[in-house]
Structure 1
Amino acid sequence: MDPSESLPIIIAGGGIGGLCAALALARKGFPVKVLERAPEVGEIGYGIQIAPNGHAILDRLGVMEMLEPQVFYPDALILMDAVDNREISRIDLGKSFQERYKYRYFVVHRRDLHAALIEACRREESFSFEEGEVNGYENHPDSVSVTCSNGKVLLGRAMIGVEGLRSKTRARIVDDGGPRATGHVVYRGLVPIEEIANKQHVNSMIVHVGPGCHLVQYRLRGGTVMNNVATFESPAFKRWEHDYGGIDEFKNAFLHCAPQVQDLLKYFSLDKNWLLHDLQPATNWTDGNVTLLGDAAHAALQYLAQGAIMAMEDSLVLAEELERQPANVNAAFLEYQGRRLNRTARVVTTARLFGAIMHASAGERLLRNELARKRDVSIPWEIDWLYRGVELEEKVY
């Protein structure tokens, strides 16, 4: 046996993408070591939407049984005009939707998904976790040495950079200037379902779209809490001001919305916000025995709700390619990125477009509403290509 075959594949990052990659690789017999800087691996955040293409991956990885008690299945995706509070369109998530895409659309708390993935990984004998953060790497013919920020040097068969938007590994491989600030700002809030006053759409995912802003509501943790997410485009950012996205901007962003929408702002926490960035699609993610995965490769805005799911898809495709060419890591990585570059680039660019459509104002808003109300949504063509998923081998992981 080649000595390099006994070396672990080092996965830099213990988020959703890193753990999916670790699980997929471990199931195929590869030893894996996940590096994460936190003393206890734990995913921060609120809710996450899992479309059918993501549900298919989690089912294949065998984590749905653990996750199921915390999942909520909305009955529809409803688009509302935030200005006049009228419904624009809806996608029924019932029988015909499930027949077309084979899997259901669900929402879940990020912590619950992360916990299920950790548990599944820890059941694999070839999985290990080590505290540390990648600071650099050096390629060798059949291995890679990884230097951590604490000075420790690890030897691996390969390394996968999954450190997220500000990945040091990406900065070295792609070197394109890093994250692109968008001026879009997010506030969030979780409240018990009993505190929600208007329960008209309580079993659906509802998206209120307004000029330069939108607000999303859906249930989490088995339906016991309501997740609230509000996004707006900062006027201060457009004026090139460094300090933007504050509480006053947040409140002002929804002043032109219907009273019913403004009333929802009471459900939000004001002690933290998120300044949104994405990355320009790259033409290469690979350097020798090192490659990128997830947000480190293709961070996108949230308007398609596909960021984490793209990382899940990456994981299974990468595991398949490494299984096909275990003796030639670089060739496997190049095949992996060849299968993923255009699909993920399409997600990044389409998410930007969807953001502009959702935040349309004046005549553009009226045109959006008219066209949306006229079309047949039995097949949501804008996202059909996404929800049909990716071609994978039939074998179970």
Structure 2
Amino acid sequence: MSTILIAGGGIGGLATAVSLAERGHQIVVLERQAAFAELGAGIQIGPNGFGAMDRLGIGDEVRERAVYIDELRFMDGTTGQRVQSLRLDEDYRARFANPYAVVARADLYAPLLAAAQRSPLIELRSNSAVSGYQQDADGVTLLLADGSSVWGDLLVGADGIRSTIRRQLVGDGEPRVSGHTIYRSVIPMELVPEDLRWHAVTLWAGPKWHFVHYPIAGGTLLNLAATRDDSAEVAVAGQPAERSHVLGQFPDLGETARRLLELGADWRVWVLCDRDPISEWSDGRVVLLGDAAHPMLQYAAQGACMALEDAVLLGELLDCPAGESQYRLERFVEARRDRTARTTLVARELGTQLYHPAGAARVARNEMLSGLSVEELQDKVAWLHGFDAARVPDLTK
């Protein structure tokens, strides 16, 4: 089988390594950091994500670490009105064949890393920043920042939103700055008053802001994420933020939501970025995957799930003779193009039209959401949550 190079050792890169190694390929994963580790706090996993993880053989391990919340709850952030909720009960699980849950990012990453470390076909190399690639009829050479290089039959660029591989393959510059600033904090659940320990992903929507919180780490921590549409123009990633500054960004937050926000400590700030959808992200023996191909805002809670879906399908498609691999990369892009573009644009729409309106638009939104039945709510997410990542496209077309 082929030797496949993977630039990037995050969730998408490791998931791809596991998926491809299961088909007998020799894999080399190159990570620029000194260690393979996943930063960040909470992450939501829909049924489509669990389906993909089952295909990768880590579903049960992640389920053991997950918090199975009761509902996705939408609140009016200024009045405190409970507008709507999507129940994640037995009916929901029966329809979509898997649960919806929240985990700490490390609780997803650790099983992926362990699976990669167990495989004799996967080599993990840290301190291996990439600088570009060259390819010819015989293979692809991945160039490293230290002047060395690695050869393979194929290259997968899974190196994130500021992908070096994308810079060469697509050449579309820096990511799009969304104008939204997010403040994140994680606190021990023991510091949360009993009446605020909700077993739900709760979103408080306000004029040009929203605030999300949910339990992670087996319910021992509370993840807080407060977002402000402040027209920020410069990307920021993980800088400390003063508590007084964070609280000052949400002056019209209702009483209950403010009690939760005031619990936050050691805040960090990011300015969110994504990219416009593109139609092509393969070039001969090279293909992009996950955030390198289709980075999206977090508002649909699908970034990691999309990367997991990518990994599963790429593994399915590359279970083929070496001579077909470049054609299969093209079909991979064709198969993923519309779904990932739709998810990217829906995430943007959620962050502007659904979460942040004021005045009459806020009232209309609340009336629209509150009027939806359980079946109608499930219908609205069916295209997203009910997807089978291993569904191979018709290769005869």
Alpha-carbon offset, residue 386 of structure 1: 0.4
- Residue 226 of structure 1: which of 217, 222, 227 is its match? 222
Identity of aligned residues (%): 34
Does the 8 A contact of 1:190 with 1:267 survive in 2? no
Tell whether 2:277 aligns with 1:281.
yes
Aligned to 1:300: 296
Answer yes or no: is 1:114 the counterpart of 2:112: no
The ranges of structure 1 where at least 4 consecutive aligned residues each deviate by more than 4 angstroms after the TM superposition are: 240-249
Matched residue, 2:146: 150
Letter in 1 for 2:157: G
Q: Equivalents in 1 of 2:7, 2:147: separation in Å?
A: 15
RMSD: 2.0
Task: Specify the code of the residue in structure 1 equivalent to 2:384.
Answer: L
Aligned to 1:358: 355
- Indicate yes or no: 2:172 matched with 1:173: no
Partner of 1:60: 55
Bigger CA drift: 284-293 or 355-364? 355-364
Q: What CA distance in whole angstroms lies between the structure 2 residues aligned with 1:328 and 1:198?
A: 58
Task: Find out whether 1:9 has 2:9 as its counterpart.
Answer: no
Where structure 2 has 5 or more consecutive residues not aligned to the other structure, the ranges are 393-397
Distance in 2 between residues matched to 1:105 and 1:249, nearest whole Å: 33
Cα deviation for residue 55 of structure 1 reads 0.8
Q: 1:393 to 1:189 in 2, by over 3 A?
A: same
Equivalent positions of 1:93-132 (< 5 A) are: 93-131=88-126, 132=128
For residue 69 of structure 2, the aligned residue among 66, 74, 90 is 74
Matches within 5 A, 1:84-99: 84-99=79-94
Distance 1:12 1:391 in 2: 22
> Conserved in 2, the CA contact under 8 Å of 1:291 and 1:333?
yes
Q: Which runs of structure 2 are paired with 1:197-208 in the superposition (5 Å)?
A: 197-200=193-196, 202-208=198-204
Could you tell me whether the CA contact under 8 Å between 1:213 and 1:233 is conserved in 2?
Answer: yes
- SS in structure 1 of the partner of residue 135 of structure 2: strand
The 5 Å alignment of 1:360-379 reads 360-379=357-376
Corresponding residue number in structure 2 for 1:347:
343
Q: Give the whole-Å Cα distance in 1 for the aligned partners of 2:117 and 2:29.
A: 11
Equivalent residue for 2:395?
none
Q: CA–CA distance in 1 between the matches of 2:141 and 2:167?
A: 18
- C-alpha deviation, 1:40, in angstroms: 1.1
Q: Aligned match of 2:319 in 313, 317, 323?
A: 323
Give the 3-state SS of the residue equivalent to 2:323 in structure 1: coil
Counterpart-to-counterpart distance in 2, 1:130 and 1:284: 28
SS at match of 2:322: coil
Q: Deviations over 1:339-379 (max 9, x none)?
A: 00110000111101111111111111111001111111334
Greater CA deviation, 190-199 or 273-282? 190-199
**1:35 alignment partner in structure 2:** 30
Distance apart, 1:68 and its partner CA: 3.1
The equivalent of 2:386 in structure 1 is 388
Separation (CA, whole Å) in 1 of partners of 2:351 and 2:380: 13
Structure 2 contact 15–112 (Cα < 8 Å) conserved: yes
The correspondence for 2:39, drawn from 44, 47, 57, is 44
Q: Aligned residue pairs: how many? A: 386
Q: Distance in 1 between matches of 2:391 and 2:119?
A: 21
**3-state SS of paired residue (2:331):** helix
Residues 45 and 102, structure 2, Cα contact 8 Å, conserved in 1:
yes
> Structure 1 stretch 244-253 or stretch 222-231: which is displaced more?
244-253
1: CA distance, partners of 2:328 / 2:276: 24
Deviates more, 1:266-275 or 1:75-84: 266-275
TM-score scaled by length of structure 1: 0.93
Letter in 1 for 2:167: A
Q: Gapped runs of 5+ residues in structure 1?
A: none
Using the TM superposition, name which of 188-197 and 17-26 deviates more: 188-197
Question: Does structure 1 retain, via aligned residues, the 8 Å contact 2:214–2:224?
Answer: yes
- SS of corresponding position for 2:134: strand
Which of 170, 191, 216 is matched with 2:187 structurally? Answer: 191
Give the counterpart letter for 2:102 in structure 1: V
Q: Which moved more, 1:59-68 or 1:132-141?
A: 59-68
Please name the residue that 1:83 is paired with: 78
Partner-residue secondary structure (3-state), 1:316: helix
Q: Within 1, Cα distance between the matches of 2:215 and 2:209?
A: 21
Matched ranges for 1:333-344 at <5 A = 333-344=329-340
- Match for residue 247 of structure 2? 251
Shift, 1:253, TM fit = 2.8
CA contact (8 A) 2:177 2:235 kept: no
Residue type at the aligned position of 2:246: F
Instruction: State the AA in 2 paired with 1:30.
Output: H
Name 1:159's counterpart in structure 2. 155
Residues 169 and 242 of structure 1, relative CA distance in 2, 3 Å threshold: closer
* Match of residue 261 from structure 1: 257
SS of match in other structure, 1:328: helix
Contact kept, 8 Å, 2:141 with 2:151, in 1: the verdict is yes
Contact 2:180 2:272 in 1 (8 A): yes
CA distance 1:254–1:150, shift in 2 (3 Å) = same
